[in-house]
Amino acid sequence: MEKNGGRVVSSVELAGKCRVKAHQVRKDLSYFGEFGIRGVGYYVKDLLREIKRILGLNKEWRMAVIGIGNLGSALLSYKDFLKQNYKIVAAFDIDPAKVIGRVSEKLGKPVEVLHISRVKEAVKERKIEIGLITTPASEAQNVANILVEAEVKGILNFAPAQITVPEGYVVKDAFFTTILDNLAYLLSST
């Protein structure tokens, strides 16, 4: 809407696009503050800014990839991260062969692969907030522990393993069978 020059949008319009009811749009948004104008709707630019703020997308998230196999390498060259305010600023592996001189060539600025022992130091220097775990399942919890020790608060786990972290840390699973198990559970219990 912003790109198309839209200035104002009503809750009815928004509801149509989101396939929900207009009163639900108004109710949900009002939960975060009063940025609608009765009888008018929402200013597109203001609403966009507010939604980005609500979703945590008004900032750059600095990420590290741990485990530079096929998936890790693919993530290093995934260009759409940049569009979405995510940036991979470090990569780690335990294999010295991968650490020496290996860089992601497809990104504008290459990311060098560091040895896993350097996580804590790099997290501090590069202000890393999210760790992407792309190791084999057997290593996932160990890597999570290393990230927790380095106070990386968010983990996206691509390994097919359940990971536990202390309170105050957040793990989301990105491996599809783990998500499928969760779906099966929800289907069973409804």
Q: Which stretch binds a copy of itself (CB under 8 A): 40-48, 49-57, 91-99, 101-109?
A: 49-57
Q: How many residues bind a copy of itself (CB under 8 A)?
A: 40
CB of 86 to a copy of itself, least distance (A): 6
Query: Is residue 55 within the footprint of a copy of itself (CB under 8 A)?
Result: yes
Tokens of 129: 């907030």
151 HSE (CA, 13 A, CB side): 7
Q: Using CA atoms, how far apart are residues 149 and 121, in angstroms rounded to an integer?
A: 11
One residue of 41, 93, 139, 158 binding a copy of itself per CB under 8 A: 158
Considering the complex, state which of residue 7 and residue 56 has its C-beta at the smaller distance from a copy of itself.
56
CB of 115 to a copy of itself, least distance (A): 25
Q: Which stretch binds a copy of itself (CB under 8 A): 8-16, 48-56, 97-105, 109-117?
A: 48-56
- Smallest CA-to-CA distance from 153 within 122, 123, 130 is with 130
Query: Is residue 18 within the footprint of a copy of itself (CB under 8 A)?
Result: yes
Query: Is residue 174 within the footprint of a copy of itself (CB under 8 A)?
Result: yes
DSSP-assigned beta bridge partners for residue 9: 42
- Give the phi and the psi of residue 70 in degrees, each rounded to 5: -60, -50
Q: Where are the alpha helices (DSSP H) in the chain?
A: 11-18, 22-30, 44-55, 70-76, 80-83, 96-99, 119-126, 137-149, 176-188
Residue ranges in contact with a copy of itself by CB under 8 A = 18-20, 54-57, 61, 80-81, 84, 86, 129-130, 141, 153-156, 158, 164, 168, 170, 172-174, 176-177, 179-190
